Structure formats: C-alpha cells, structure tokens
Chains A and B, each alone.
Chain A
C-alpha cells in the first residue's frame, strides 16, 4: 500500500474575520515555507532572515487581513520571481455559482506598443454588431481611458513584458462583464477615426473548469478546427484537465492533417502534467519537456508516447501573454525538435508552483522548483524565443488576417512539402 503513493507526488478553509493569531500564523507559514523549501537556497541573494526581521513588526501592527495580505505580497515580491503571490480569500468561495464575468463584449484585446490593440472580434457578438473590427485601437472602456490603465500599470515598475501581460488582463477584465449589460467603447478605426459604440455583452462561449484542490474554477475556452489549408488548429485558453479529453480527440481527428498548430497565445498556464500529456500524443519517444529542479531532487515534465501519435509537422503559437505551462510546452517541444515555435517572445514566468491556503483564508502561491528546458535553457525571466518571430501587426489584422497564424500555416506547408519530397 505504501509504495503506491508515488504518482501523487509526480502530481483549510477559513471565513469571517480571523483573529490576529491567524494573521501571525499566516505570516509564519509564508516565511517558513520559503525558508525551508525555496528551490534556491541562496534566495537569489535576498537575505531571507533579514526579510523576516523587517516584516515581523509590520505584520504585528496589521489590523486587517487586507493589510496583512498586502504585506505578505510585498514580502514574497522581494524574491522578484514569478509564481509567488497571495490570492484574496474571495477567490476561494466553495460554490462560486455562475461567474459574473462569463460575459463579454466579444473582443480580445492586447497591450501592444503602448496601446490596446483589438486582436479578435467574435462574429455575431455585440462588438461585431457595433462595427468593431480586429486591428482597431481601444481608447476608452466605460469611463476609464486606456491611457489611465497603462499609466497605472507602468507605475508598478515591473519588467516591460510583465507590464504588458498585466495591462492585457486589466483591459480584458474591464471590457468583460455580466451578460446583458452594456459597455461604452471608444476606439480608433482603420481610417484613424475615433468612434464610440455602446456594446452589449453576451454570454461567453467557454466554460468554467472544475475546482482542483486549491486551484479555483477558471474560465476556459477550447477551439479546434481545420483551416482552409487542411492544417489542424487547436487552441485552449488554459492547461486544465477538463480540456484534456477534447485536446486528445482533436489531435486524433487530425491524423491526416498536413500539420497541427497549437495556439497558446494568451494562455497563462495551468497543470504542468498536461504539457507532457499532449506531447505524448505527437511524439514517439519517451522523453521530457524539461526539468523542474527543487532544493533536493527534480521532477520531469515527462512525455510518455501514446498509441498512434500524430507525426506530422507541429507549430506552437506563442505571444507575450503565453506563460508558465504554455512556455514549458513550447520550449520543451522546441528543444526536443518536435515543434517550431512561431510568434512573439513569451512571458518568461515558468516556475512550477503550488497553491496553499493560509489560516486567514487567503491563498499562498509559491514556486517549488526552477524550470529548465531539455537544452538547459532557463525560461524564467527569459521567455521562449520563437524560431520564427512574427509580431501581430495592425495592418494584417485590419485586413482580416492573423500574421502569426499565417506564418505558422506557411511553415507547415513548407515542412509538409519537404516531407513529401523525401518520400520515394
């Protein structure tokens, strides 16, 4: 019986107003967990004992949980690494019910070159009906000017690529809202004219994932189709187990496709084990997408070949909002020579982490390991460098094209042609 626990390793609830004791215990847990388990015993040069000395009096003086959580956020922020953070207790409601944000105006927006670029407009959505098109520049959402959001993000002092991700998320959250409500959008169209539209929000097409331990339900989208060229296209907005069956079925249905494109642009990550699981459907070798180095020992993003894998050319599309498991997936497949990465440099936030509940009810996310791709390349702070770098350009979007997707298709067609020529 005792020997059978290993697979779990490959793999507290509080409400109301906790007492100050709960705040002190939360502080102790956060500090001690990092002290004892941080994968880098030097803490990246940060004097972690000194951090305790500095923060302990502030924690003792905190009179609300909110104050404590901000202090803890600042404390883990001293490590200057991704995947260390404090998540508000409200995110852990046991039965969140229908998510009010499961509605949207039907646009996807990205922070790009200091502007908010609309990269996608859902056909038939409120935005489409109001004449909004991909390639337009968003200037204002409701009463909030985009410039104000971008300025607020700039003040955080984060690296530019992290600012872009944060700005993208804030912009998207501001645009989205409960179905049936409306939002005023001010944007600049293809002719450079400023326009205004009252856009009705409608239900989003995706769904909420299942809660997995401390990982709360999250909005997910999945899309698979054949492009005009016959190339397979699979997009998923998050690495969550509830999507794994659909990913598997999509790949199986594309066995005759000249190539498959996995679109993880905007995908912030999720369950690391799923990266190797998908790779096992397109790979014949038992291998690994990289190694997660802990203080002692390491865990591999292992790939186990599944029956009848897809063997044609594969492209992974990434952008600055691709993070964590998306980066492990792209970097790993790139390093083992199984996929070509197309798009823009990714976020560089690829530390495997766990989410622990604190006595105050907040979540404490902390990285348990550093990640290196099979070619020993570190992804944290660097990002995945595409083999074919293509930026999303406004002109293509205005022409109804996705330059990154076009480049991916062109690459697959070229590779498929080469493969055909090789065969006698």
Chain B
C-alpha cells in the first residue's frame, strides 16, 4: 500500500517533469522523433512495403469533384490517379528514376530539375524515418498557432530545393501543416497543405482529410480507405506511352 501511494504521489512530478522537459528544450530531433512515434513508430512503419489510399477530391471554387487513388511502394515508387468528370484521367507517377505526369489536355511529360527532385523526395516510402537525411538543414523556429492549435515550426531545406515550413502539433506531435513553394515548368506558386483527421491503419497513422490552398484555388481530399502491403508490380509505376 505504501509503495502504491508513493507511485501515485510521484506521478504528478513525473508528468510535470516530462512536460517541463518537453517545453523547456524541444529540439529538431525530439520533434521528429515524437512525430515518428505518433505516426505509429519505426517498427510499424517498416512493416509496410506498400500503401494504397482511395478517396474523393473536391475543388469547391470550381465545382469539381471526383475520385482518386494513390499507391506508393518501398523504397521510392508512387502513382496517383484522379478521375475528373468532364476532364478525364489525370495520372502522376515515379518509378524510382523517371517522374512523369499525364493529363488529357497537355498529354504526357517527364519531370526534371527541382520538380523531379521534389517528386523523388515525396515518393520515399520511409520518408518519415529519413527526414534528416532528405533535408540536411532543419531548424526549429519556435511555436506558432495553426487553426487554434499550438505547433512547432520547423524550416527544412533539401539539398536541391527551397525551404519548406513544417508545423507539428504540440499535443499530438503530428504534422498538421506544411508550406512550400513549387516551381517548375507549370509556374511558381506557394502551396499550403493542411492535414487533419489522422486515423490508424495497421498501426500506422495517415491524414484522412487533406486541404490544399494555392492562391485562390482550393483542393480538399477525403480518404475513404487505406490498405498496406497490397501487391503492386513495379510496372505499375512506369511511364505509359503518350497518346
């Protein structure tokens, strides 16, 4: 009994110390480590070799809605398909070497330069575990408020791209917003992406609601299904021939 009371008495102290330590000196490492843990932890993340997501998207200002599907495969392959009524199928892929994009208006194209580098970084299946490697410069800039939540702001700069702003929720340790400037043959634009409604599948968390804003344009994506370790042949990610 005495021991039990001692434990109970000690608890607030432990909790307070933990909070004090976290608040006192958060570091880039501690924030990124907490993020990996919040996402499900290294072991759970490494158990998956593919991830498939299915859902819908909406561009409210343009009245567009449609279905979408993504599939990513370790170590660095990705494919995204969207079906936009009245426009047709839009596809983007990366097979580990070639990044490509295809839509009914502009046809097929291969990405190059900073756009290729960005696609490559994004396609890294275990990117959550390799952030410090992919972004050699990461600085903690302080705490900011995102949609009423306090969040640590990190500025991460890859070797071949511009700085990105990452906002990690202080409470959940999850990434709730990132901002970056996209530059390529399509133009130059500041993009803000909010990630909400994190849910767990096979021990791994993923945002099921993603909102993106670029100037006056908005896209909202609702994920309806996430699966891991679905079979995905490498050929799936190869650039198709142009029409």
**Chain A positions near chain B (C-beta within 8 angstroms):** 1-12, 33, 36-37, 209-215, 241-242, 244-245, 248, 271, 273-274, 276-277, 280-281, 286, 288, 291-292, 294-300, 302, 304, 306-307, 354-357, 368
Q: Is the CB of A276 within 8 A of B106?
A: yes
- Interface residues of chain A: helix, strand, loop or mixed (majority): mixed
Q: Is the CB of A288 within 8 A of B107?
A: no
Q: Is the CB of B212 within 8 A of A5?
A: yes
Q: Is the CB of B80 within 8 A of A297?
A: no
Choice from B78, B109, B206, B212 contacting A9 with Cβ under 8 Å:
B212
Contacts A2-B207, A2-B212 known; 13 new A-B pairs at CB < 8 A: A2-B178, A7-B90, A9-B217, A36-B216, A213-B86, A297-B187, A297-B215, A299-B187, A306-B242, A354-B61, A355-B63, A356-B60, A356-B61
Flag whether B119 is at the interface (Cβ < 8 A): yes
Choice from A241, A276, A291 contacting B88 with Cβ under 8 Å:
A241
A-B Cβ contacts below 8 A, count? 166
CA distance A167 to B78 in the complex (A): 52
Q: Is the CB of A296 within 8 A of B193?
A: no
CA distance A245 to B106 in the complex (A): 11
Choice from A9, A212, A277, A286 contacting B214 with Cβ under 8 Å:
A9
Contacts of B80 in A (CB 8 A): 1, 4
Q: Is the CB of B101 within 8 A of A7?
A: yes
Flag whether B7 is at the interface (Cβ < 8 A): no
Shortest Cβ gap from B240 to chain A (Å) = 12
Flag whether B105 is at the interface (Cβ < 8 A): yes
Q: Is the CB of A368 within 8 A of B217?
A: yes
Contacts of A10 in B (CB 8 A): 186-187
CA distance A296 to B215 in the complex (A): 7
Ordered by A's residue number, 23 sampled pairs between the chains whose C-beta atoms are within 8 Å are A1-B70, A3-B122, A4-B122, A7-B92, A9-B191, A12-B63, A37-B216, A213-B63, A241-B86, A248-B107, A248-B243, A277-B107, A299-B186, A300-B186, A300-B187, A302-B106, A302-B186, A304-B106, A307-B242, A354-B217, A355-B62, A356-B61, A357-B63
Q: Is the CB of B214 within 8 A of A210?
A: no
Q: Is the CB of A297 within 8 A of B106?
A: no
Q: Given the known inter-chain contacts A1-B53, A7-B92, A300-B185, please indicate yes or no for A241 contacting B104, CB distance below 8 A.
A: yes
Q: Which residue of B lies closest to A38 (CB)?
A: B216
Q: Is the CB of A5 within 8 A of B193?
A: yes
Shortest Cβ gap from B219 to chain A (Å) = 5
Nearest 4 pairs of A and B residues by beta carbon: A212-B86, A3-B122, A214-B63, A273-B105
Choice from A6, A245, A281, A298 contacting B188 with Cβ under 8 Å:
A298
Q: Which residue of B lies closest to A8 (CB)?
A: B219
CA distance A125 to B18 in the complex (A): 85
Contacts of A245 in B (CB 8 A): 104, 243
Shortest Cβ gap from B48 to chain A (Å) = 13
CA distance A213 to B104 in the complex (A): 16
Flag whether B82 is at the interface (Cβ < 8 A): yes
Q: Given the known inter-chain contacts A4-B78, A297-B189, please indicate yes or no for A37 contacting B215, CB distance below 8 A.
A: yes
CA distance A288 to B241 in the complex (A): 23
Q: Given the known inter-chain contacts A5-B193, A241-B87, A304-B108, please indicate yes or no for A288 contacting B185, CB distance below 8 A.
A: yes
Q: Which residue of A lies closest to B82 (CB)?
A: A8
Mask, B164-184, CB within 8 Å of A = 1, is 000000000000001001100
Q: Is the CB of B189 within 8 A of A277?
A: no
Q: Which of A7, A10, A274, A304 has the most CB atoms of chain B within a 10 A radius of its CB? A: A10
Q: Is the CB of B105 within 8 A of A368?
A: no
CA distance A354 to B53 in the complex (A): 29
Shortest Cβ gap from A293 to chain B (Å) = 9
Contacts of B178 in A (CB 8 A): 2
CA distance A157 to B65 in the complex (A): 39
Q: Given the known inter-chain contacts A304-B106, A304-B108, A354-B217, please indicate yes or no for A3 contacting B62, CB distance below 8 A.
A: no
Q: Which residue of A lies closest to B178 (CB)?
A: A2
Which chain B residues numbered 216 to 243 have a C-beta less than 8 Å away from chain A?
216-217, 219, 221, 223, 241-243
Contacts of B187 in A (CB 8 A): 10, 291-292, 297-300, 302
Flag whether B190 is at the interface (Cβ < 8 A): yes
Flag whether B134 is at the interface (Cβ < 8 A): no
Contacts of A296 in B (CB 8 A): 189-190, 215
Q: Is the CB of A211 within 8 A of B86?
A: yes
Q: Is the CB of A271 within 8 A of B215?
A: no
Contacts of A357 in B (CB 8 A): 63
Q: Is the CB of B92 within 8 A of A4?
A: yes
Flag whether B118 is at the interface (Cβ < 8 A): yes
Contacts of B88 in A (CB 8 A): 241
CA distance A169 to B102 in the complex (A): 36
Flag whether B103 is at the interface (Cβ < 8 A): yes
CA distance A298 to B186 in the complex (A): 8
Flag whether B59 is at the interface (Cβ < 8 A): yes
Q: Given the known inter-chain contacts A3-B118, A294-B215, A368-B215, please indicate yes or no for A8 contacting B57, CB distance below 8 A.
A: yes
